[in-house]
Amino acid sequence: MFPKLELEAQSDRPIYRQLHECIRKLIGSGALRKGERLPATRDLAGQLGLNRTTVSAAYALLEAEGLVLGHVGRGSFVLSEPRTSVSGLRWDRLLPASDALSAPAPAPSGALSFATSRPSEELFPMGDVRLSCQEVLAGPNAASILQLGSPGGYPPLRHYLLEEARREGVARSGDDVVITNGCQQALDLLQRVLVRPGDTVLVEDPVYPGLKNLFLRAGAQLAGVPVGPDGIDLEALERLLERGPARLLVVTPNFQNPTGATLPAAARRSVLRLARSAGLVVVENDAYGELRYEGTPLVSLKQLDETGDTVLVRSFSKLTFPGLRVGWVTAPQALASRLADAKQLADLHTDQLSQALLLRFAVSGRLDSHRARIRAAGAERPRAVLEACRRCLPPGTTFTRPEGGMNLWVRLPEPLDAAELLGRAQRAGAAYLPGKYFAVSRHDPGALRLSFAGLAPEQIRAGLAILGEVFSSELARARLERFESAPAMV
């Protein structure tokens, strides 16, 4: 039986705080001991003739102090004694449980890392960057660039991007551009404006962790649309759309991260047709589109879209410099204006020095030179990685053949587990990101992503030699073990 509690109905102190104090004292005096269960709120409320929310409020205070731990469906348990010294907040209780997979331990320095999708610093045209920056800060707008700006973006850059998009045919008269801190923030703002907890969001499966975790954190229901060598599986998309209403489809038609897959032109039309009949918002994630190393550029979803409703997300980060956080959304005005509102609440506006610098880099023609150079030098890398994959990885391994971008998807033969082998690969001097970080609705333990753009061709070859050796030796060991553990046929 729970000890008797003395509450004063006439007191100035609210009842829930009196109750909190009483229970706190019972814990302090040892009358309630660690591990003991408090009465259910309903029972205690009944016993004391109180409203149940009063009891809940008292329990919430005890929990915030770390004296009590609540388990949904199991009740509240005494956790510890009140500290007699000045008691600080119990951050472990205040912070929600972390839901994301923790990142793998970083590779030892000096390891050849295929783990991050980023460009090679060696290809940064530092002279052109210095010149562009100098011109911006010597120019007539220098002081106003350092002054508070506009949520939609630095106006000269917004106008430039909108003009370019019109020239290319991706923006029409009803569209507008909103500048963001790269694609990641563009997706975050779209989530804030368009997605409510419980909404279904369709994403590619596998997809990069930043996209997946963003929508999960927002409380969305993720449904994975499988990605094959030719991009998302249209039949699977159709089946998912028939299963129930969805809010958003995020699709990467060019060089998808992590698979490197490209969606053929006909499939792009089908995606739009399916989305249109389902009333679905299509977000075209085109961070990598400019990094095509071979084959013919394909027309974007935004351009193909008869209704003009597709939301196009692009960025300078992959083509130029990811340390400058500048991306942008091209979207119908009604949506763009809400995105700008959300942007203002998120961080007022994007850094203006980087916006001005990238604009100068573009209009001076330096971006064109850089693009040409990146495409030429960049093309050596997928060639090197494909050639090395063929040569080094054990038989039975499959991998995609990207025509651009920064990533390639490898599937090791059974029973290899890419996550289990990472530690060994890192100790041997090479790193990658295992497939489990990219999994949405299905997971292949043998899958992994190789991000090749940040490494020089000779590093790619050396890194794959290491990985090939680790995978092959493990495969030989596993097969030997399987052979040896097979029961004798008697």
Q: Which ranges of 244-365 would DSSP assign to H, the alpha helix?
A: 265-278, 301-304, 333-347, 352-363
Q: Which of 36, 351, 380, 469 binds its own copies (CB under 8 A)?
A: 351
Dihedral through CA 63, CA 68, CA 69, CA 72, nearest 10?
-80
Q: Nearest distance from residue 265's CB to its own copies, in Å?
A: 19
Task: Name the residue nearer to its own copies (CB basis): 179 or 447.
Answer: 179
Q: Which of 3, 82, 108, 279 binds its own copies (CB under 8 A)?
A: 279
Task: Name the residue nearer to its own copies (CB basis): 164 or 351.
Answer: 351
Distance set, CA 226 to CA 205, 264, 454 (Å): 5, 15, 27
Task: Name the residue nearer to its own copies (CB basis): 174 or 228.
Answer: 174
Q: Nearest distance from residue 139's CB to its own copies, in Å?
A: 11
Task: Name the residue nearer to its own copies (CB basis): 59 or 293.
Answer: 59
The pattern of x and - marking residues 239 through 278 that bind its own copies according to CB under 8 A reads ---xxxx------------------------------x-x
Half-sphere exposure of residue 388, counting CA atoms within 13 Å on the CB side?
Answer: 24
Q: Is the CB of residue 448 less than 8 Å from the CB of residue 410?
A: yes
In whole angstroms, what is the distance from residue 237 CA to residue 218 CA? Answer: 22
Q: Which of 5, 7, 48, 64 binds its own copies (CB under 8 A)?
A: 64
Distance set, CA 405 to CA 8, 51, 189, 454 (Å): 70, 61, 24, 11
Dihedral through CA 201, CA 204, CA 206, CA 209, nearest 10?
-50
**Segment 125 to 184, residues that bind its own copies, using CB under 8 A:** 126, 129-130, 133-134, 137-138, 142-149, 180-182, 184
Task: Name the residue nearer to its own copies (CB basis): 290 or 305.
Answer: 305
The pattern of x and - marking residues 71 through 90 that bind its own copies according to CB under 8 A reads ---------------xxxx-
Q: Nearest distance from residue 291's CB to its own copies, in Å?
A: 15
Task: Name the residue nearer to its own copies (CB basis): 242 or 484.
Answer: 242
**Segment 403 to 462, residues that bind its own copies, using CB under 8 A:** none
264-293 burial code (b ≥16 CB/10 A, e <16): eeebbebbbebbeebebbbbbbbbbbbbbb
Q: Nearest distance from residue 460's CB to its own copies, in Å?
A: 18
Q: Which of 43, 164, 309, 380 binds its own copies (CB under 8 A)?
A: 309
The pattern of x and - marking residues 208 through 237 that bind its own copies according to CB under 8 A reads --x--xx--x--------------------
Q: Nearest distance from residue 162's CB to its own copies, in Å?
A: 18
Tell me the angle at which helices 366-392 and 352-363 cross, rounded to the nearest 10 degrees. Answer: 90
**Segment 3 to 22, residues that bind its own copies, using CB under 8 A:** 13-14, 16-17
Residues that bind its own copies (rule: CB under 8 A) add up to a total of 89
Q: Nearest distance from residue 318's CB to its own copies, in Å?
A: 10
Task: Name the residue nearer to its own copies (CB basis): 335 or 428.
Answer: 335
Nearest to 191 by CA among 163, 219, 169, 231: 219
Q: Nearest distance from residue 134's CB to its own copies, in Å?
A: 7
3-state secondary structure of 287: coil
Q: Nearest distance from residue 80's CB to its own copies, in Å?
A: 15
User: Alpha carbon 357 to chain centroid distance?
Assistant: 27
In whole angstroms, what is the distance from residue 184 CA to residue 271 CA? Answer: 23
Mode of pairing for the β-strands spanning 447-451 and 433-434: antiparallel
Give the DSSP per-residue string, 365-433: THHHHHHHHHHHHHHHHHHHHHHHHHHHSPTT-EE---SBSSEEEEEPPTT--HHHHHHHHHHHTEE-E
Q: Which of 346, 379, 462, 465 binds its own copies (CB under 8 A)?
A: 346
**Segment 314 to 343, residues that bind its own copies, using CB under 8 A:** 317, 321-325, 332, 334-335, 338, 341
Task: Name the residue nearer to its own copies (CB basis): 117 or 400.
Answer: 117
Give the DSSP per-residue string, 457-474: HHHHHHHHHHHHHHHHHH
Return the structure tokens found at 452. Answer: 């090749």
Q: Sign (positive/negative) of CA torsion 198, 201, 205, 210?
A: negative
User: Alpha carbon 106 to chain centroid distance?
Assistant: 18
The pattern of x and - marking residues 97 through 136 that bind its own copies according to CB under 8 A reads -x-x---------------x-xx-x--x-x--xx--xx--
Task: Name the residue nearer to its own copies (CB basis): 118 or 166.
Answer: 118
Task: Give the other-Cβ count within 10 Å of 244's Cβ.
Answer: 9
- Look-up: residue for tokens 């028939």? 242
Q: Nearest distance from residue 5's CB to its own copies, in Å?
A: 19
3-state secondary structure of 22: helix
Q: Nearest distance from residue 182's CB to its own copies, in Å?
A: 6
Q: Nearest distance from residue 488's CB to its own copies, in Å?
A: 51
In whole angstroms, what is the distance from residue 160 CA to residue 359 CA? Answer: 8
The pattern of x and - marking residues 23 through 62 that bind its own copies according to CB under 8 A reads ----------------------------------x--xx-
